[in-house]
Amino acid sequence: MPDQVLYGMEVFLNGLMAGVLYALVALGFVLIYKASGIFNYAQGVMALFAALTLVGIMDGQVPFSHLINAIFGTDVHHFGWHVPGVLAIILTMLVMILLAVIVQKLIFRHLVNQEPIILFMATIGLAYFLEGFGDLMWGSDIKKLDVGLPQGISETIESVTYNLTGYGFFIDNLDIVAAVVATILVVVLTLFSQYSKQGRALRAVADDHQAALSVGISLNFIWVLVWSIAGFVALVAGIMWGAKSGVQFSLSLIALKALPVLMLGGFTSIPGAIVGGLVIGVGEKMFEFLLGPALGGATENWFAYVLALIFLVFRPQGLFGEKIIERV
Amino acid sequence: MFYREAGDFKTTYAEDNQTFPIKFDRYRYYAVMLFAFAVVPFVIDSYWLNAVFLPFLIYAIAAIGLNILVGYCGQVSLGTGGFMAVGAYAVYKLMTSFPDVSMIIHVLLAGVITAIVGVLFGLPSLRIKGFYLAVATLAAQFYLVWLFNRVPWFYNYSASGQISAPERFVFGVPITGANTASWATYLFCLVFVVFCAVIARNLTRGTVGRKWMAIRDMDIAAEIIGVDPLRAKLSAFAVSSFFVGISGALFFAVYLGAAEVGESFGITKSFLVLFMVIIGGLGSIFGSFAGAAFLVLLPVFLKNVLVGSLGWPTDIAAHLEFMIVGALIIIFLIAEPHGIAQLWRVAKEKLRLWPFPH
């Protein structure tokens, strides 16, 4: 095969891998949207916050050290211990659950029955708050996240493909891990929602709030649960993105990239989020590869949105979304 | 006590339909206008101008524009930053191509150009609704910013990729460039604010506005009673983008002087204007002003208190600002989802009965 085609295939594969990461963020959106009808803009910032907390715990940073130093004139930075990765992940998960409880108790309990746009705005407010809070708590410098995930180019794939086609494919080890993790996550989530008691309750709530309430399902518990799961998904996404490109503010911008993914897949469909993520990931990489040089580069900034826009004109509910039926 | 309709007799239809039916409101409006036009220009200095007045006036125009689209017509848009960029680049191209034409015409033309672009990006709204539309407008935001970054014609092939406003005049007084007087730029923006507010107020209480509101409340029902959704939605996009374009033009030419598109007109700007509209109150012209004032004054206030008085580092103040803005948005939404304008309405109702509530 000619080199150009092989190179194109490599771009395609890398696009798939990037798409997996988009799908991870989109997954969190879909979960919350299905269960509570809230379009959670803060999902990306939750990923950032989770990653910041994880790094902070692992390095033994003193929370709010900047603020404490500014007020009391002290000079504290670190506790001086290092927490192993697994323990830190568990602690971070506890923080995310706590966050879920607080978000539910302080914000969304008071906004029940409001219009969707109001709920959406509240999550933007939450996003702003969390962003400031995370930076204030852990500092805003770019941090390295290392929980022991393999880094660098996968040599096995390179040598295997080199032997097969005479051209070694460059694929990040981390991307492969991300793909595996995402697959496991989706399987676990599906099993959870199909077979566990809470999962069924969750689906019942997603189907009809009032009917679920009348058969004795606690809405409060379900909403806390679903925000915790979203927090968990955010943590996974945060770890993956953080390990890839460092924990920094731009992490929260992937939330925006997840939006066209959702539009392609439909807001209410978990498989949709995965497929949408892959389509966007591959699409933007291939578009940049094929037409980017002719258009002046950096088309990745807008390609996903324009693709979603054009797509929606023909299919307004997305690929897997429930058919929109409008009644007067 | 003074806030009463009683005793204020309307003898003509014109009087009955006026914008401020209550005498107190009317005089307050005249007083505010008098103050804004005849007092502020004489006392304004460059700190107040650049920290408070110019951003407030310019954002107020943008907020009015977005409020027409989101608050009156119900089409959520996250592309305000992109449309402001269209206004800015349009006015830049016009200023450099026709240096002798008055700035007033340039700014208005920039508004018209933005309106055309707005209609173009408004076309999908005929098929796409709700959140899907909100995300679709993100396409406008990112595509336009990328376009202005990548096509050198837009920034006249300057080496830095920035645009900077050359010196231009209105009636012989410099409005843009380095040698402007505070009062001149202030008055220039104020005239546009009043112009936009009056147009918006009168559009929204007439036929056009009622059609928009019918579409907002339920588009299918509106279609059945004879509102053409194509014309209603696209006219909302056009009028909204016209205002947003004017504000973008003023923001670049008068306020910033030099701009880099990703930094000045990025996605954060879209959200900022949307917050103004939400906090101020959806579907209210007064709310647009209130929201703009609130979000312009809050950072200035916080900065003065935290950095100025307490002596904290600026980065902590910036983080706290994020937290406070976020928390305030949530508190506002919980306490009063319809924004400052609704508080104002409630206060007015109370005032009518005060001090004898029976």
CB–CB contact B139 A309 (8 Å): yes
pLDDT at A240: 83
Q: For residue B209, is pLDDT > 70? A: yes
pLDDT at A328: 66
Answer yes or no: do B182 and B71 share one domain. yes
Answer yes or no: do B20 and B139 share one domain. no
pLDDT band at B35 (very low <50, low <70, confident <90, very high): very high
Answer yes or no: do B36 and B51 share one domain. no
Q: For residue B180, is pLDDT > 70? A: yes
Answer yes or no: do B330 and B195 share one domain. yes
pLDDT at B1: 64
Number of domains within chain B: 2
Higher-confidence position of B226 and A288: B226
Nearest by CB to residue B132, choosing from A132, A140, A316, is: A316
Nearest by CB to residue B138, choosing from A107, A131, A259, is: A259
CA distances from B288 to B76, B255, B329 (A): 15, 19, 15
Min Cα distance B69 → chain A (Å) is 14
CB–CB contact B326 A316 (8 Å): no
Closest to B281 (Cα-Cα) out of B71, B130, B74: B71
Q: What percent of chain B has pLDDT over 90?
A: 39
Question: Which residue is closest to B274 within chain A, CA to CA?
Answer: A121
pLDDT at A291: 81
pLDDT digits (tens, 9 = 90+) for B258-307: 888 888 898 889 988 988 898 888 889 999 999 999 989 988 888 888 77
pLDDT band at B231 (very low <50, low <70, confident <90, very high): very high
Residue B18 in any domain: the answer is yes
Q: Which of B43, B59, B74 is the last residue of a domain?
A: B43
Nearest by CB to residue A111, choosing from B139, B322, B333, is: B333
Answer yes or no: do B9 and B51 share one domain. no
| CATH assignment of the domain containing B265 | 1.10.3470
CB–CB contact B267 A259 (8 Å): no
Answer yes or no: do B31 and B133 share one domain. no
Q: How many CB pairs under 8 A join A and B?
A: 143
- Chain A residues close to B273, C-beta within 8 Å: none
pLDDT at B193: 95
Number of Cβ within a 10 Å radius of residue B5: 12
In angstroms, the CA A19 to CA A304 distance is: 11
CB–CB contact B124 A312 (8 Å): yes
Residue B358 in any domain: the answer is no
Answer yes or no: do B3 and B89 share one domain. no
Nearest by CB to residue A328, choosing from B151, B218, B315, is: B218
CB–CB contact B139 A302 (8 Å): yes
> Residue B310 CA to chain centroid, in angstroms?
33
Answer yes or no: do B205 and B233 share one domain. yes
Answer yes or no: do B113 and B30 share one domain. no
CB–CB contact A124 B271 (8 Å): yes
CB–CB contact A66 B315 (8 Å): yes
Answer yes or no: do B49 and B179 share one domain. yes
Question: Which residue is closest to A308 within chain B, CA to CA?
Answer: B136
Q: How far apart are the first and last CA of chain A?
A: 58
- Chain A residues close to B319, C-beta within 8 Å: 132-133, 135-136, 140
Q: For residue B61, is pLDDT > 90? A: yes
Min Cα distance A139 → chain B (Å) is 9
**Partners of A78 in the β-ladder:** A61
Q: For residue B37, is pLDDT > 80? A: yes
CB–CB contact B135 A114 (8 Å): no
Question: For chain A, what is the mean pLDDT?
Answer: 81
CB–CB contact A302 B142 (8 Å): yes
CB–CB contact A309 B327 (8 Å): no
CB A265 within 8 A of CB A27: no
Nearest by CB to residue B326, choosing from A114, A115, A126, is: A126
Residue B196 in any domain: the answer is yes
- Chain A residues close to B323, C-beta within 8 Å: 128-129, 132-133, 136
pLDDT block averages, 10 residues each, chain A of length 328: 75 82 83 80 88 86 78 75 82 92 88 80 88 84 72 70 69 79 85 86 82 89 88 87 76 75 80 86 86 75 83 77 70
What CATH number does domain A3-314 carry, 1.10.3470, 1.10.260, 1.20.120, 3.30.200?
A: 1.10.3470
- Chain A residues close to B151, C-beta within 8 Å: 296
Q: What phi and psi values does residue B257 have, to the nearest 5 degrees?
A: 85, -40
pLDDT at B226: 92
Min Cα distance B127 → chain A (Å) is 6
In angstroms, the CA A81 to CA A60 distance is: 5
CB–CB contact A313 B128 (8 Å): yes
Report the SS3 class of residue B292.
helix
CB A38 within 8 A of CB A108: yes
Min Cα distance A41 → chain B (Å) is 11
- Chain A residues close to B275, C-beta within 8 Å: 121, 124
**Any idea what DSSP says for residue B64?**
H
Answer yes or no: do B119 and B54 share one domain. yes
User: Kind of pairing, strands B163-164 and B258-259?
Assistant: antiparallel
**Any idea what DSSP says for residue B170?**
E
Higher-confidence position of A146 and B221: B221
Question: Which residue is closest to B130 within chain A, CA to CA?
Answer: A117
- Chain B residues close to A313, C-beta within 8 Å: 124, 127-128
Closest to A132 (Cα-Cα) out of B283, B302, B179: B302
Question: For chain B, what is the mean pLDDT?
Answer: 88
Q: For residue B242, is pLDDT > 90? A: yes
Break chain A into its structural domains and give their ranges: 3-314
Among A121, A284, A327, the residue to mutate for chain B (most B Cβ within 10 A): A121
Task: Give residue B8's domain range.
Answer: 1-43
pLDDT at A215: 92
- Chain A residues close to B333, C-beta within 8 Å: 111, 114, 118, 121-122, 125
pLDDT at A166: 66
Handedness of CA A66, A67, A68, A72 (dihedral sign): positive
